[in-house]
């Protein structure tokens, strides 16, 4: 059995469980699973477009709680990673992550890149579980509500559009958020220096 067939079987197994299947996949997608939540969110939203907002909420809640689970994996299991980093480098990384880490984790929640790695990293650098939950809820919520609303509004055509363009769309949104954040930081630094 190929890995793709195995993943498809898991998805087919979860879909009949509806909201519970969506919640579980979303939870594990933010901590340990390579399967995307959209694999269940899209077909469920097509089946029940009137429940699109509720399904997006379930995916968001599951993902946010899964992010906290991933955080604790990093917090308690990340020592080997930290032990490989020199004290000097750790201080630099820790300072950078303390200043910008939650935003980076948030953007990763919209991006097509593995969100779970950023959640585990948040635990390794102890960014705070409550803060991570809130940031995850906002950014993952944006992702899931966008998908659910497009499908509820456009039906099969919306699902096709999401599946074909999701990677590029969320990559562009993520890059826009990052560039905006960097420009804001640079502008604040510039005006701070000018006012001295």
> Of the ranges 101-110, 170-179, 186-195, which one carries the lowest mean pLDDT score?
186-195
Number of domains in the chain: 1
The yes-or-no verdict on residue 162 having pLDDT over 80 is: yes
Q: Which domain holds residue 177?
A: 3-194
Q: Supply the pTM of this predicted model.
A: 0.84
The 3-state DSSP class for residue 127 equals: coil
Q: CA–CA separation, 86 vs 83, rounded Å?
A: 8
DSSP state of 155: T
Q: How many CA atoms lie within 13 A of 103 on its CB side?
A: 15
- Nearest-5° Cα angle at 40, 35 to 43: 140
How large a percentage of the chain has pLDDT more than 70?
Answer: 94
Q: Which two tokens stand for residue 67?
A: 């992010």
What pLDDT is recorded for position 174? 86
What pLDDT is recorded for position 194? 62
What pLDDT is recorded for position 112? 85
**Angle at which helices 115-124 and 52-77 pack, to 10 degrees?**
40
Q: Which two tokens stand for residue 73?
A: 């994996």
The 3-state DSSP class for residue 34 equals: coil
The yes-or-no verdict on residue 158 having pLDDT over 80 is: yes
What lies within 8 Å, CB to CB, of 11 at 6+ separation is 25, 35, 39, 40
CA distances from 188 to 9, 44, 99 (A): 51, 44, 14
């Amino acid at each position: 059995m190929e890995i793709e067939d195995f993943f498809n079987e898991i998805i087919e197994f979860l879909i009949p469980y509806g909201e519970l299947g969506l919640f579980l996949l979303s939870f594990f997608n933010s901590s340990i699973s390579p399967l995307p939540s959209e694999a269940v969110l899209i077909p469920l939203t097509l089946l029940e477009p009137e429940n699109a907002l509720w399904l997006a909420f379930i995916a968001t809640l599951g993902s946010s709680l899964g992010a906290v689970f991933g955080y604790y994996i990093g917090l308690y299991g990340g020592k080997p990673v930290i032990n490989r980093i020199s004290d000097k480098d750790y201080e630099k990384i820790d300072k950078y992550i303390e200043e910008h880490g939650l935003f980076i984790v948030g953007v990763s929640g919209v991006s097509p890149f593995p969100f779970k790695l950023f959640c585990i990293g948040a635990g390794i650098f102890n960014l705070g579980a409550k803060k991570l939950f809130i940031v995850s809820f906002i950014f993952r919520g944006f992702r899931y509500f966008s998908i659910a609303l497009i499908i509820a509004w456009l039906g099969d055509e919306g699902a096709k559009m999401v599946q074909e363009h999701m990677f590029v769309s969320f990559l562009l949104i993520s890059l826009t958020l990052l560039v905006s954040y960097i420009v804001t930081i640079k502008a604040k630094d510039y005006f701070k220096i000018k006012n001295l």
